[in-house]
Structure 1
């Protein structure tokens, strides 16, 4: 099992997925998720939450304990094996050594350690809480009975319980650093010191307060939730946590890693206290229910809130999203730009907004309808020009919008997607009708178009100025620059057929262009171009903006989120010194309002003087501070083996490492326990002793191995988040497949020795008899030789034949396939097909394994009746058959399609019933590879696709599919 120290390393993940900002997030800034019984919970009341050392999250409900791996909930309820005596669960407490204490109704108490369960003697009534003290003793808070202690004897063993507080309800227990134990009860707060019990008096004599919860903060102070507010005990002195809560019933209180207090209430929802600032969240803001029962912070820093109506998770994401619900005029944001006051201007399809430190202010234009804003540019005089979709250009001065330029005043089009003021004060406007250049006084205008200059296209969407005074333009079919009135167009089409140029990043000596085929660099010294695109490792083609941050990275916006690449690596790739670029990817699961970052207008991504970056998206503005993000390749994800089965019989992977001889199928289910983007986790596995390389599993968390030969193996698994580095965790499951008696090396040695002795004796006797009767002995030798050859042939036949069907077994098929592949190229045009019976397990489960055997024998006859041109059929293993047939392409696919239809129409008569079956077929061609292992993998991949596509189909893996 994974040690808890492994998860301390996983905390580094917080620096990537949960960025720390320069100010505390408000509750509305958190990324939230909810789960209810509709999502797999056994019950909506979440009485307790815990996380064990292996990384699993556990939820206590009235219908059992739910184990959560990020994908699904696994239920443990009343069961003799687990020792849970009643499904109603109230207490969940994680302890060292990957232990979990579970307590509940009818005094149910059990201890889980790893994969094993250790039932304990029942308590007197409902167990509300369990505490394992510093001496490993177990303390229990019992409903209506009080507080009891069981002294530790040995692992999983305790003495009879001893009563300390009786006749009242015990709710919660905690222990301080000095060993004192505090108990929250229905009749006040109690302290147990040196086995002596003392009632703690609240100020003004309120010692009988109903105390519902106690916990410790990071400074070792006691936190107390009562019917009359939340309290803190510091050096023995009690004081209210927040005066405004003095009369509010508080059900639970916990402190997070940042020192913030989280409080649950009986009927008014969730409260967070930061310093003296108090925030609330109720059902109106997304809380499943206003009665909060439990609060827990996991290893990744997320806050889990258990209510009477389900679970809420609050997660700090790297990005903060600002949208219409926060006060923006519209969600479809096209341009963002900080002004000279370092406030943010936001242009959307519904208007222009100014975001300050405290508020969002909508800036209205004189006309009645709102402006649809496309572009922004700060002027040297402190004003801002605003390009619109249908109203030309406006000027913003003192937060007032006034018309500046329109088609009536000479602007070539009312749609203005880019604006630039050059160093001489001249103004440039990019429109769909060309590029307009105005003198500083606006008295003279020059129009650059495709017809009157070398402008590659009239549709201008991006503008920039470099250190040489050149004005750069980006259009729908290319980019270039204007110098002294002369237009120079760049031949971008030579670089992956790049056309659309969306944005620029200018730095001394270089201009970077975001295009529809990647990032292109222009070097001023020799005017050379270089591209960083798909061939260089970027996963997509189209990028809208490129911005350099202060931590040495380029940020690229796209329709599929944001991509961060190292600045130095970008130059190294462009210079040809490095072949591939490394990147990080961010999207909606990281807190962006939408993964669709908008482009075709400028600036669509900006960075402020303080280093904060803002991105225009299809759902508001996304904000991030890049230098607070760390690299995700340092993350060591918790990995667990969830299940191991031998021939569909689950075993305990902690103790079962011997696999019985003759086991056909070994299935291993695993999981990476990272909860922020669990559904996006990718896996790869390697079975040492069978596979020389890692096998990519995608999002699938199951590995199956069939007909492994006897021997020792080690299963390894690694995980990563999308586009991240593989976490080759030191995690494995070792097992040994036992041989049959005749496969044992010692037995083989003895048999060989006995055979030699026997042979020697026979030779000696024959030589002796030959001297006596040479003629008769020769006849006897000939007879014996014929008999030995017959036996040898029979042995050879049995070693290559499947006992059930009489077909060739896997050994014979492997030899035949390798021999076929070793023939000259002109003679190796053949196809390999793997035929698998769909849902065969249902036949075994519904009838019997004998019936299943009859089905397999019937199918083997259908495959060998020579009606479908199959040259060789072998039983591959279980319900799978392997076939070799000459030819490839559509004719082979049609051949097996006819075979599939014939099988589907055939009635198989067994001892128990008439059965119809269907099969899935995966086909690969020898033209795709001459490697034996690869050809098998291709056929198996085709079969997997057939199963994924619904079964009862034939999939022939084309060359393109084979390489994907």
Structure 2
């Protein structure tokens, strides 16, 4: 009895889960190699595959291949380790290398002492078993063992040895062990004996025999077991079952799917992901087959030459429907053909008596319930387009190819027309809005018709109305061919938002379930949306609306649903919804359909690919060089449902105000590019629930600056620019200062030049005055100097006239001759006199003897002195030379001797020259009448006066000595006058050999 019940239950489960959609993956679409050796799922939800060309990670969207590993070969085998401990181990061929998968990363174990899956024990190999499948081969020369938490089971020569630390080795009393039937469930080892229909359970070395016949010990059963996943699969006649538990000495199975020709695919590994209801099948030759188990059921008739395109239908029994062809189907397929014939698929109704009405060309066919729908009646309507029922109102639409007409009938017999309304567009749908008004959907708009006043008002134009639907909650919805769908409330239309890909532009039909969701069919998927979100949007169109889309990835045979029929979708008494599609009628229980959202704890942002290079990992901060072109930041989410429903949004603080939805294609990534250097914060959020809750992740991004973009460089440049600016200002200031100084100097120079010009002019004026004075003084000097000789010659001439003695006359003639000759010689040098007062050159280039001047002057005045009984004597101790201006010195001597001759009678005039190291002293000493004390004081005082004093005026005491004093000062010499002893006057002139000798410059 229990076996019969089990078979019935298994049949039920088989029917329940037999529909599935599968996808193959191989080297052409993601895998590096077609041999999938093992499949495991880590604690983070990611799938891992072992192949003969590396290890593959899978997140539901992309296969990530790891074959650039530091290993000797890429032929990997089975998975070992512990998923809960985040430790998945895999070895390559011959255990040459060991790989650890931890924290979603692959690490090579480089230690030479790592444990292996096999060892050599005496003359036999000891090899570890972690997986069992029909493809596994066991050698008679190898010892095998299984490790459990409590101990170890060893198999050799049909014996089983259990070993633990407490009791040591224990022989398990079971003979004839077939390892291909072995599997481990938790800590218990199971072995089946198909021949005797027994199953052995061994727990810590103690066996228990399960004698009940079951699928486990069926001779046609194949067992798949993998220790790391803890999953055991039973394959029997293409039916795949999963071991779910052990209770009351019975192994409990769950039917998954029926997979045709399963044994011909050489599947070597199996994994069932219960979270997403996916079955992963790894073939040793064909790659990976991912099977999506589904609770969507697409009923197909599977009759030759009969298409599966479905439109209108009616509920027939509790779990069956009937279409206009008369095919009765349930979710598993055809139940019965009632043979209605070939009819129009788009219109079908029950009348109030339960009769079925459907359209056939220009006629409405009525099939009677009383005859079990075997008899029918036909009502002909010329130009029939469709017919409708809403509550108790029946209507028929016709067209004359120009206009269309809606005829309202008195009752369901469709005989008596109560009213007719004319429209320009085709009438597609019909709804009784209230007792007096109807909503009419046409190809050119939506109309509201008043029954009492026969008034037609257009509510909206330009939209092609497909269906008018009143959901179970009383809301009225309008679907269109290309303009989306609307909520009709208070005689106003509220346009609803569309999905991200605008598939709902052509929404077909809307059904509401008891859990607060609307289900909307379209040409590309079945959508689920929260009722409150749409109704709230109609009040405030700023509120978000989140659609969840079901497609072939979720188990539908097609994503294209059919529309434009009446009725289009409805719910059965058993709670299942029915929607027509292009592959048959889709059945599903909305309570059992799960919408998949990411686990908020399983969202990882840790991988990046920069400029198409290899993928690398980062922790919290992502650092990019300045020369990057683009960087793909991966959002790793183990999400194995339709990526359309994976809503990931991003924004960069300071760059974006609004969230930007990332388009999920082959890879789940966010790409950044064209960001300048600096620090950025990338915010990511992932929708984790249907109400729009998000889980957030933050990535700090630092883009390094180039050397000239660094703060230090900018600071240096700023300082340098500041320095240059200051230098420019300083240089400019200095330039202006120098220029000002130059200008000042120039002005000063100009002032000086002007002053000098003025002084020069004054000097010129003075020079002119002096020149005039010089000329005057020159004449006076000449007159003075020649007056004595001339006077003497005149006197001698007078005496010559008065004397008659020949000898005396001769003497007088000689005196006149000598005086005249000397006077002649004096006049020859008058040119030198002219230069005395004008020249500033008081020195000669070459030395000359002073005695030359003295002798000349002695000869000039010698005859005159004789006439006065005086004589002139030159006293020179040695030959004395000097470089002083000869003309000046000659003039000085001339005047001093002349003055002495004039004032000396019967006396002597001594000309004395003395030389010492510092000076030459010239003395003119006479024994004449001498100067008075007043004269001595005057002339000595005159010498002490400045050259600027008007000494050149030669006042008071005559010309000669004034001129001498002037010339002495010009020679930077000094002169003194004092009494001669015993009588007369001595004039002493000291001429200093040192040209300046501390004296004041004549020009100053």
- 1:119 and 2:109 matched: yes
SS of structure 2 residue aligned to 1:491: strand
- CA–CA distance in structure 2, aligned partners of residues 60 and 243 of structure 1: 29
User: In structure 2, which of residues 72, 77, 93 is the aligned counterpart of residue 89 of structure 1?
Assistant: 77
Partner of 1:76: 66
- 1:546 and 2:513 matched: no
SS of structure 1 residue aligned to 2:260: helix
Quickly say closer, same or farther: Cα 1:437–1:375, change in 2 above 3 A: same
Partner of 2:35: 45
Q: Residues 271 and 279 of structure 1 are in contact (CA less than 8 Å); yes or no, is this contact kept in structure 2?
A: yes
- 1:305 and 2:281 matched: yes
Post-superposition shift, 1:554? 3.1
Q: Residue deviations 1:546-598, cap 9 Å, x none? A: 32322223333322333334334444444568666543333333333332222
- 1:381 and 2:353 matched: yes
Q: Residues 50 and 92 of structure 1 are in contact (CA less than 8 Å); yes or no, is this contact kept in structure 2?
A: no
Quickly say closer, same or farther: Cα 1:380–1:232, change in 2 above 3 A: farther
Quickly say closer, same or farther: Cα 1:772–1:675, change in 2 above 3 A: closer
Post-superposition shift, 1:778? 12
- CA–CA distance in structure 1, aligned partners of residues 730 and 444 of structure 2: 94
Tell me the number of residue pairs that the alignment of Structure 1 and Structure 2 aligns: 701
- CA–CA distance in structure 1, aligned partners of residues 736 and 553 of structure 2: 89
Post-superposition shift, 1:386? 3.6
Quickly say closer, same or farther: Cα 1:213–1:576, change in 2 above 3 A: same
User: In structure 1, which of residues 235, 255, 262 is the aligned counterpart of residue 233 of structure 2?
Assistant: 262
- 1:477 and 2:479 matched: no
- CA–CA distance in structure 2, aligned partners of residues 148 and 299 of structure 1: 27
- CA–CA distance in structure 2, aligned partners of residues 306 and 248 of structure 1: 21
Partner of 2:208: 237
Quickly say closer, same or farther: Cα 1:766–1:245, change in 2 above 3 A: same
Post-superposition shift, 1:74? 3.3
- CA–CA distance in structure 2, aligned partners of residues 331 and 256 of structure 1: 44
Post-superposition shift, 1:238? 4.6
Partner of 2:178: 209
Post-superposition shift, 1:466? 5.3
Partner of 1:105: 93
- CA–CA distance in structure 1, aligned partners of residues 319 and 537 of structure 2: 36
Q: Residue deviations 1:372-416, cap 9 Å, x none? A: 54333234434433444576314153784345342xx4444576x
Partner of 1:392: 364
SS of structure 2 residue aligned to 1:41: coil
Quickly say closer, same or farther: Cα 1:602–1:595, change in 2 above 3 A: same
Partner of 2:247: none
- CA–CA distance in structure 1, aligned partners of residues 328 and 578 of structure 2: 13
- 1:362 and 2:364 matched: no
Quickly say closer, same or farther: Cα 1:708–1:270, change in 2 above 3 A: same
Equivalence map 1:375-454=2 (5 Å): 375-388=347-360, 392-395=364-367, 397=369, 400-406=372-378, 409-412=379-382, 417-420=386-389, 422-423=391-392, 427-430=394-397, 434-435=405-406, 440=411, 442=413, 444-446=415-417, 453-454=420-421
Post-superposition shift, 1:513? 3.2
Partner of 1:284: 260
Partner of 1:675: 640
Post-superposition shift, 1:45? 3.1
Quickly say closer, same or farther: Cα 1:677–1:513, change in 2 above 3 A: closer
Partner of 1:731: 697
Quickly say closer, same or farther: Cα 1:389–1:320, change in 2 above 3 A: farther
Q: Residues 479 and 489 of structure 1 are in contact (CA less than 8 Å); yes or no, is this contact kept in structure 2?
A: no
- CA–CA distance in structure 2, aligned partners of residues 481 and 767 of structure 1: 90
Q: Residues 289 and 307 of structure 1 are in contact (CA less than 8 Å); yes or no, is this contact kept in structure 2?
A: yes
Q: Residue deviations 1:626-656, cap 9 Å, x none? A: 3445666675484445753556554742469
Equivalence map 1:126-165=2 (5 Å): 127=117, 144-147=125-128
Partner of 2:566: 602
SS of structure 2 residue aligned to 1:541: helix
Partner of 2:550: 586
SS of structure 2 residue aligned to 1:670: strand
Quickly say closer, same or farther: Cα 1:24–1:535, change in 2 above 3 A: closer
- CA–CA distance in structure 2, aligned partners of residues 313 and 343 of structure 1: 30
Aligned residues: CA RMSD: 5.3
Q: 5+ unaligned residues in a row in structure 2: which ranges?
A: 1-11, 131-138, 245-250, 746-1004
- CA–CA distance in structure 2, aligned partners of residues 608 and 685 of structure 1: 43
Post-superposition shift, 1:602? 1.2
Partner of 1:532: 495
Partner of 2:293: 316
Quickly say closer, same or farther: Cα 1:763–1:427, change in 2 above 3 A: closer
Quickly say closer, same or farther: Cα 1:375–1:444, change in 2 above 3 A: closer
Q: Residue deviations 1:12-67, cap 9 Å, x none? A: xxxxxxxxxx9786342233222234433233332210123444321112333222
- CA–CA distance in structure 2, aligned partners of residues 589 and 778 of structure 1: 96
User: In structure 1, which of residues 527, 531, 555 is the aligned counterpart of residue 519 of structure 2?
Assistant: 555
Quickly say closer, same or farther: Cα 1:567–1:313, change in 2 above 3 A: same
- CA–CA distance in structure 2, aligned partners of residues 462 and 690 of structure 1: 49
Quickly say closer, same or farther: Cα 1:188–1:678, change in 2 above 3 A: farther
Q: Residues 190 and 200 of structure 1 are in contact (CA less than 8 Å); yes or no, is this contact kept in structure 2?
A: yes
- CA–CA distance in structure 2, aligned partners of residues 575 and 744 of structure 1: 52
Quickly say closer, same or farther: Cα 1:422–1:404, change in 2 above 3 A: farther
User: In structure 1, which of residues 601, 606, 617 is the aligned counterpart of residue 581 of structure 2?
Assistant: 617
Quickly say closer, same or farther: Cα 1:682–1:443, change in 2 above 3 A: closer
Q: Residues 46 and 59 of structure 1 are in contact (CA less than 8 Å); yes or no, is this contact kept in structure 2?
A: yes
SS of structure 2 residue aligned to 1:544: strand
- 1:193 and 2:164 matched: yes
Post-superposition shift, 1:528? 2.0
Equivalence map 1:698-847=2 (5 Å): 698-699=663-664, 701=667, 702-705=669-672, 708-718=675-685, 728-739=694-705, 745=711
| TM-score, normalised with respect to structure 1 | 0.60
Partner of 2:464: 499
Partner of 2:52: 62
Q: Residues 497 and 545 of structure 2 are in contact (CA less than 8 Å); yes or no, is this contact kept in structure 1?
A: no
- 1:294 and 2:270 matched: yes
Post-superposition shift, 1:617? 1.0
- 1:337 and 2:327 matched: no
Q: Residues 262 and 270 of structure 1 are in contact (CA less than 8 Å); yes or no, is this contact kept in structure 2?
A: yes
Q: Residue deviations 1:92-114, cap 9 Å, x none? A: 65635654321231113221334
Post-superposition shift, 1:606? 0.4
Q: Residues 201 and 207 of structure 1 are in contact (CA less than 8 Å); yes or no, is this contact kept in structure 2?
A: no
Quickly say closer, same or farther: Cα 1:41–1:556, change in 2 above 3 A: closer
Post-superposition shift, 1:674? 1.4
- CA–CA distance in structure 2, aligned partners of residues 255 and 475 of structure 1: 63
Quickly say closer, same or farther: Cα 1:371–1:444, change in 2 above 3 A: closer
Quickly say closer, same or farther: Cα 1:443–1:384, change in 2 above 3 A: closer
Post-superposition shift, 1:532? 2.3
Q: Residues 230 and 250 of structure 1 are in contact (CA less than 8 Å); yes or no, is this contact kept in structure 2?
A: no
Quickly say closer, same or farther: Cα 1:103–1:263, change in 2 above 3 A: farther
SS of structure 1 residue aligned to 2:553: helix
Q: 5+ unaligned residues in a row in structure 1: which ranges?
A: 1-21, 130-139, 150-164, 780-964
Quickly say closer, same or farther: Cα 1:185–1:101, change in 2 above 3 A: farther
Post-superposition shift, 1:345? 1.6
Post-superposition shift, 1:603? 1.2
Q: Residue deviations 1:596-634, cap 9 Å, x none? A: 222221111101234321101111111232344566667
- CA–CA distance in structure 1, aligned partners of residues 661 and 542 of structure 2: 25
- CA–CA distance in structure 1, aligned partners of residues 252 and 222 of structure 2: 17
Q: Residues 678 and 703 of structure 2 are in contact (CA less than 8 Å); yes or no, is this contact kept in structure 1?
A: yes
Higher relative contact order (CA 8 A, sep 6+): 1
User: In structure 2, which of residues 224, 227, 249 is the aligned counterpart of residue 252 of structure 1?
Assistant: 224
SS of structure 2 residue aligned to 1:365: coil
- 1:513 and 2:470 matched: no
